[in-house]
Amino acid sequence: NIRLASQEIAKKNAASTGRPFIRGIVISSCGSTGRVSESVARLSRLVEMDIFDFVFCFAGVSTVDSIVVPALSRFVENVFVYDMGLWAALERSFGEDKHALNTTPVMLSFAEFSKRPDDTRDRVVNTRVLAYSNFKDARPWGFDIYRCSNPTCGAHAHDMIFHADGRQYYGIRWLEAKMKTTCMKCQQTRRKIAAPSWIHSCRAENIGRCWYQWPLTLAQRMDLGITH
């Protein structure tokens, strides 16, 4: 029974003065698992209920095993062998593998601990997606769900053309570059589009790698042209 085993590990962690045992699950599926809000909420609940310390799954439509498995192996190794923090382990695996992250964004729901002045610890749960921004393949900031902002159109990203617009930035400032979009259905063109403030670049100086809290709020979806 996963719940009972997890509770026993949690008891040992509570009684231990050393580093805690990490409890995690890797869900090797794609599609709706890491994309639909209801599914993401259920996965995050496993961490919030303290059954697991992290839940990993793919957040793309599909994956290519031969490309993503090496990065996934490095993530697991970073966590359980090199004792990295959970988010740092993801950035140092998928975040450093352009080919894997270009194949599929990845979702990680994970718990972090912050120490109080009285030496007790607060357990905080985050759920984020790590993605690769690719204008050429119609995935601005990693989103294949981007839509045309014309209220009478709403075309999907694959019916749009994306380009960098204006001055280009590199290194940790790459996300400051603006974007130009052209819809092939309604012919609307928009220029100088800045990345929303809730999209963050990775700490490593890897152009195109970004992350955001997941799932998106309605206001965030509207920033991407999604009205529902």
CB 160 within 8 A of CB 148: yes
Asked, for residue 186, whether it belongs to a domain, the answer is yes
Report the number of distinct structural domains present in the chain. Answer: 2
pLDDT at 18: 61
Q: Which of 112, 131, 150 is the last residue of a domain?
A: 131
Any alpha helices (H) in 52-129, and if so which ranges? 65-80, 86-91, 98-103
Asked, for residue 46, whether it belongs to a domain, the answer is yes
**Whether residue 85 sits in one domain with residue 7:** yes
**Whether residue 137 sits in one domain with residue 117:** no
pLDDT at 15: 65
> Residue 85's domain spans which residues?
2-131
Mean local confidence (pLDDT), 57-80: 96
Q: Which of 195, 182, 198 is CA-nearest to residue 150?
A: 182
**Whether residue 165 sits in one domain with residue 122:** no
**Whether residue 40 sits in one domain with residue 54:** yes
Integer angstrom CA distances of residue 91 from 116, 124, 214, 226: 27, 19, 16, 28
Sequence letter at residue 173: R
**Whether residue 158 sits in one domain with residue 126:** no
Mean local confidence (pLDDT), 95-123: 89
**Whether residue 71 sits in one domain with residue 168:** no
CB 207 within 8 A of CB 173: no
CA distance linking residue 181 with residue 183, whole number of Å? 7
**Whether residue 185 sits in one domain with residue 79:** no
When mean pLDDT is compared across 88-97, 120-129, 175-184, 215-224, the lowest value belongs to: 120-129
115 SS3 class = strand
How many Å from the N-terminal Cα to the C-terminal Cα in the chain? 39
**Whether residue 17 sits in one domain with residue 93:** yes
Integer angstrom CA distances of residue 134 from 55, 141, 144, 152, 162: 26, 7, 10, 26, 9
When mean pLDDT is compared across 25-29, 33-37, 121-125, 198-202, the lowest value belongs to: 121-125
**Whether residue 110 sits in one domain with residue 58:** yes
pLDDT at 205: 60
Integer angstrom CA distances of residue 67 from 18, 35, 41, 60, 172: 36, 20, 27, 14, 25
Percent of the chain at pLDDT > 70 equals 93
Mean local confidence (pLDDT), 97-114: 94
Each residue's pLDDT tens digit, 184-202: 999 999 999 999 999 999 9
Q: What is the pTM of this model?
A: 0.91
Each residue's pLDDT tens digit, 132-149: 999 999 999 999 999 999
